[in-house]
C-alpha cells in the first residue's frame, strides 16, 4: 500500500518567516492533495496537483509536484498566526475513490 511521509513532523516559526513542508510518496503519485486541519476540526482543501512539475498558489501558499521524485512541497511565504494548524498531504491510491493521507505536519506561528 502507498505510504506518505511528511517532514518535518512539527514546525515552529516566527511570524513573517518562510517555511516548507514536504510530502514523499512510496509509490507513483497520480494526484496529490493538500489539506489544512485546525486542531479537533475538519479538513480544509488547499490545493490539488495532478501533473508533474505543476505548481499552484493561493494567497501566500504555493505547492509543487515533482512526479519523478514522487514528492510534493508546500511553501508558505511570510507566515502569519492564521497559518497555524496541521497540514496534511493526501494522494490518490489509483482507485480513483480513496485518499491516503500522511501523518501531518503541525505548524505553530509565533508573534
Partner 1 sequence: EPEVTQTPSHQVTQMGQEVILRCVPISNHLYFYWYRQILGQKVEFLVSFYNNEISEKSEIFDDQFSVERPDGSNFTLKIRSTKLEDSAMYFCASSRQGLNEQFFGPGTRLTVL
- Residue 89: all three cell numbers together: 498531504
106 binds partner 1 (CB under 8 A): no
Closest CB to partner 1 among 79 and 85? 85
CB of 79 to partner 1, least distance (A): 24
Q: Which is nearer to partner 1, 35 or 73 (CB)?
A: 35
Kindly state the cell numbers that stand for 36: 489544512
Applying CB under 8 A, which part among 18-26, 55-63, 69-77, 99-107 lies near partner 1?
A: 99-107
Q: Which of 44, 55, 59, 81 binds partner 1 (CB under 8 A)?
A: 44
Grid cell listed for 98: 480513496
The C-alpha cell at 105 is 505536519
26 touches partner 1 by CB under 8 A: no
Q: Which residues, at least 6 apart from 12, have a Cβ–Cβ distance to it below 8 Å? A: 107, 108, 109, 110
Cα angle at 17 between 13 and 19, to 5 degrees?
70
Amino acid at each position: 500500500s502507498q505510504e506518505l511521509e511528511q517532514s518535518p513532523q512539527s514546525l515552529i516559526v516566527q511570524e513573517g518567516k518562510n517555511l516548507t513542508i514536504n510530502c514523499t510518496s512510496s509509490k507513483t503519485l497520480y494526484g496529490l492533495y493538500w489539506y489544512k486541519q485546525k486542531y479537533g476540526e475538519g479538513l480544509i482543501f488547499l490545493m490539488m496537483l495532478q501533473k508533474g512539475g505543476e505548481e499552484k498558489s493561493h494567497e501566500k501558499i504555493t505547492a509543487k509536484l515533482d512526479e519523478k521524485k514522487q514528492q510534493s512541497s508546500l511553501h508558505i511565504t511570510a507566515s502569519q498566526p492564521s497559518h497555524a494548524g496541521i497540514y496534511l498531504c493526501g494522494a490518490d491510491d489509483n482507485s480513483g475513490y480513496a485518499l491516503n493521507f500522511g501523518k501531518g505536519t503541525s505548524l505553530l506561528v509565533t508573534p
